[in-house]
Structure 1
Amino acid sequence: MGPMSTNPVRQTCSHPHHCSEDVRLRVMARSPLTRDLSPEQRRELDTHLRALSWAEGDPLMLAGDTPGGVHLIMSGRVRVTRDTIEGDEITVDIAAPGDVLGPLDTVPVPVVDSAWAMETTCALFLRAETLGQVVSEFPPLAMALLRLQQERLAAGRDREVAQTTRTVEQRVAGVLLQLATRLGQVRPDGSVLLQVRLRRDDIAGMASTTVESASRAMAKMKRNGLIDSGREWVVLLDAAGLADL
């Protein structure tokens, strides 16, 4: 076999990104990892951060990589995916501005999930070693780190329990409500538009079901006046009705 003409391994396509100190501090003020720090502590931490950007479709990280730190999303949307044992790729989360991506560890460790920019995305990168260094200096950061780790564990447990105790329709409703809390835009008529290009397979992956089952559940919700939807968009017409499910 002759040599390949192109390298099949996809690399992380990050680019240095310039943003003002004011923008970086605003991101830290809303990120769950850094929002409990004082303004002075955030300015100190800012000296350790590096701003990066990715184009649509670029990977922020790939499963098995060791990114060496965490990303605080500044702008854009990021699809977090996981490879199944059958070799399929499923969506497990969608990250938005303020969210933290990467291993919450103070030493570099490999990641189990991949993360892909759904649109032009910018993030602040904090090295694991720096995180370990400042945790001892800033107790609120240590508490936030512990809280985020616990939340990630709890989310994983909830996902496993939901697969055996909830119907597909209930799981899909839960996914839509969860996305609404982070990505929802309330419109004048009281409906909530999910501000993300949402594919059916994204919803299916997050609800731990098949695309066909997720589509059937959403069609039923649409008939019942709970949601409206089209190609890559969803509007919640009756959030209370979804919660009742």
Structure 2
Amino acid sequence: MSGNPVRANCARPHHCSADVRMEVMARSPLTRELAVDEHRELDRHLSAWSWGEGQPILLAGDEATGSYLVVSGRVRVTRDTIDGRGITVDLAAPGDVIGPLGTAPAEAVDSAWAMETTCALYLPADSLAEVVEEHPRLALALLRMQQDRLAQSRERDIGRTTRSVEQRVGAVLRRLDDKLGHRREDGSSLLQIRLRRDDIAGMAGTTLESASRAMSKMKRFGLIDSGREWVAIVDHAGLDELIDRG
């Protein structure tokens, strides 16, 4: 495969219609369990913001006064290490929530950067407190998202000592496939995001060199195909077997 096959996203940097807002709330893990009238009620508290490629949405250490529900674009979430490096800990896509999941302002632990023109709906923390009180299903969804974030972080930490680099890299690719994979006629699945090797390394809790070696081996065995900033899953069953082997 030549070139980068990941299609450009159609961001809406200056306008976010009611239909678009309703659509993203209908598929977001935070709001998809709510009824349509609850989406409309929540929408009263939201405002649309946009960023150009490379611009920061959040910076670690700053006070975060709310959360962002991604409408269009892709977002790289990074964390600073003790030696001053920034590693990728997550990649957010439409429907994902970035920023602290709380009902009061809090210090941002991670930074978030627009990977392309990105639009997100901003929900102030104090408004979230009001909405949660009125809509118990949102409170439950909020709790689940907080638990998922903790579980993901714990899995990454435990995986460093209990799973091989190949398994950890494979798990990252499988999770991204679940969220961003586009099935093609030949059965392969293209990850619709410009994916750097150091993104994969950060999420897998390994070095760039180790992640690159693992991906080269997976490509050699026909599990994936890849090029500059793109990855496709070729053999889903084989990838699952690699990840889940004892």
- For the superposition of Structure 1 and Structure 2, which TM-score range results when normalised by the shorter chain? over 0.9
Q: Give deviations 1:34-83, integer Å, cap 9, x for gaps.
A: 11111111111111100000000001100011221110000000000011
Rounded Cα–Cα distance in structure 2 between residues aligned with 1:234 and 1:226: 11
**In the aligned structure 2, how far is the partner of 1:62 from the partner of 1:117?**
12
Q: Does 1:26 align with 2:59?
A: no
After superposing on structure 2, the runs of 4+ consecutive aligned residues of structure 1 that deviate more than 6 Å are: none
Q: 1:199 aligns with which of 185, 196, 203?
A: 196
Tell me how far 1:18 sits from its aligned partner: 2.4
Identity over aligned pairs, percent: 67
Equivalent positions of 1:164-243 (< 5 A) are: 164-243=161-240
The residue type equivalent to 1:58 in the other structure is Q
Task: Tell me by how many angstroms 1:87 deviates.
Answer: 1.0
In the alignment, which residue of structure 2 is the partner of 1:113?
A: 110
TM-score by length of 1: 0.92
Superposition deviation, residue 244 in structure 1? 0.6
Superposed CA offset, 1:131-163 (max 9, x none) = 001111011111111111111111111111101
Consecutive unaligned residues in structure 1, runs of 5 or more:
1-15
Secondary structure of the corresponding residue to residue 56 of structure 1: coil
SS in 2 for 1:27: helix
Cα-Cα RMSD: 0.9
Task: Give the aligned partner of residue 65 of structure 2.
Answer: 68
Question: Deviation at 1:227?
Answer: 0.7
| Number of equivalences | 230
Bigger Rg, structure 1 or 2: 1
Tell me: higher relative CO, structure 1 or 2? Use CA pairs within 8 A at least 6 residues apart: 2
Partner of 2:93: 96
Structure 2 runs not aligned, ≥5 long = 1-12
Paired residues for 1:43-62 under 5 Å: 43-62=40-59
- Aligned partner of residue 171 in structure 1, secondary structure: helix
Letter in 1 for 2:49: L
How many Å separate the matches in 2 of 1:241 and 1:136?
Answer: 46
* Residue of structure 1 in register with 2:84 after alignment: 87
